A = this chain, B = another copy of it.
């Protein structure tokens, strides 16, 4: 077995045999957060493998920039890995668990499966129920902030579950891991409540300005809001402008928030509506924008006007 300065012997709570810290991380990462997390681990000396077969040109580009190694198939991915990270649009979290389970089983490995997606606690438990019988140890992770960069590493990885401490060893490889309890679902609960503010409240703000445009009262509404709700308006307006390229993947995230709220007896409709709003933005010409190349929707009024035009309600 290769030796490494970063390698220390430790014990997980559920497995008594010694477990090494990680040399190779497998990651299924389709977007900015997955690529950013992978790049941070590579910068900190880890080998990070992925499987790019069938992926988009953009995913290939992001993986290459991040220094990820393409092993070409899921089976090889699990065989090579000490720990597996799932970082995807939240609607794909369960399907990825189903896809990886047979490979985990055939590998005979007791690797860590960390679901880092923005999903409801109940969805995290659903993934757990798929990958644990295959032999993995499940860790529930919620990611906060923008992807880490060489200049800025403010991203927080909240981790919960009996094996959270083991995921916490990635602190040695540059991830800000915050262990937050033994319960699977706890990290996801924190993520869902936070995302309610950064996603669902912002959907509400987007709906407001699109409605104002469609009703022909945009100037008056923005005058009142910017003058009398200044902090809230400025905070929300900035986030509405950054929404269009991400709206398509926030649909499922907001649905997961609704699922979380309904579990404790709170209204899910707020989130049903929020998801509809992001779907509308994704379906409109605004949805054609990418993070790297914004042409339209770079001001609040332009965002509102394009979406209002799309729903057919544009008034002068």
Across the interface, do B211 and A261 meet the contact criterion of CB distance under 8 Å? yes
- What chain B residues lie within 8 Å of A209 (beta carbons)? 193
Q: Which residue of chain B has the shortest Cβ distance to A265 in the bound complex?
A: B311
- What chain B residues lie within 8 Å of A193 (beta carbons)? 208-209, 211-212, 215, 217, 221
Q: Which residue of chain B has the shortest Cβ distance to A154 in the bound complex?
A: B228
Across the interface, do B235 and A231 meet the contact criterion of CB distance under 8 Å? yes
Mark interface residues in A188-212 (1 if CB within 8 Å of B CB, else 0).
Answer: 0110111011101101110111111
Mark interface residues in A40-70 (1 if CB within 8 Å of B CB, else 0).
Answer: 0000000000000000000000000000000
Mark interface residues in A18-32 (1 if CB within 8 Å of B CB, else 0).
Answer: 000000000000000
- What chain B residues lie within 8 Å of A260 (beta carbons)? 211, 215
- What chain B residues lie within 8 Å of A274 (beta carbons)? 267, 270
**Please, how many angstroms separate the alpha-carbon atoms of A145 and B190 in the complex?**
34
Across the interface, do B190 and A270 meet the contact criterion of CB distance under 8 Å? no
Scan residues 196-244 of chain A and give those whose CB is less than 8 A from a CB of chain B: 196-198, 200-201, 203-205, 207-212, 214-217, 220-221, 224-225, 228-229, 231-236
**A312, CB-defined interface residue at 8 Å:** yes
Across the interface, do B217 and A190 meet the contact criterion of CB distance under 8 Å? yes
Across the interface, do A232 and B235 meet the contact criterion of CB distance under 8 Å? yes
- What chain B residues lie within 8 Å of A156 (beta carbons)? 224
Across the interface, do B265 and A190 meet the contact criterion of CB distance under 8 Å? no
**Please, how many angstroms separate the alpha-carbon atoms of A271 and B272 in the complex?**
10
- What chain B residues lie within 8 Å of A214 (beta carbons)? 264-266
Across the interface, do B221 and A208 meet the contact criterion of CB distance under 8 Å? no
Q: Which residue of chain B has the shortest Cβ distance to A218 in the bound complex?
A: B193
**Please, how many angstroms separate the alpha-carbon atoms of A188 and B211 in the complex?**
13
Across the interface, do B272 and A233 meet the contact criterion of CB distance under 8 Å? no
Scan residues 260-291 of chain A and give those whose CB is less than 8 A from a CB of chain B: 260-261, 264-274, 276-277, 280
Besides the known contacts A158-B220, A189-B212, A231-B235, 18 further A-B residue pairs in the complex with CB atoms under 8 A apart: A190-B217, A196-B208, A200-B204, A201-B232, A207-B261, A207-B267, A211-B260, A231-B231, A232-B235, A264-B308, A265-B311, A266-B280, A266-B311, A267-B280, A269-B273, A269-B276, A270-B273, A273-B273
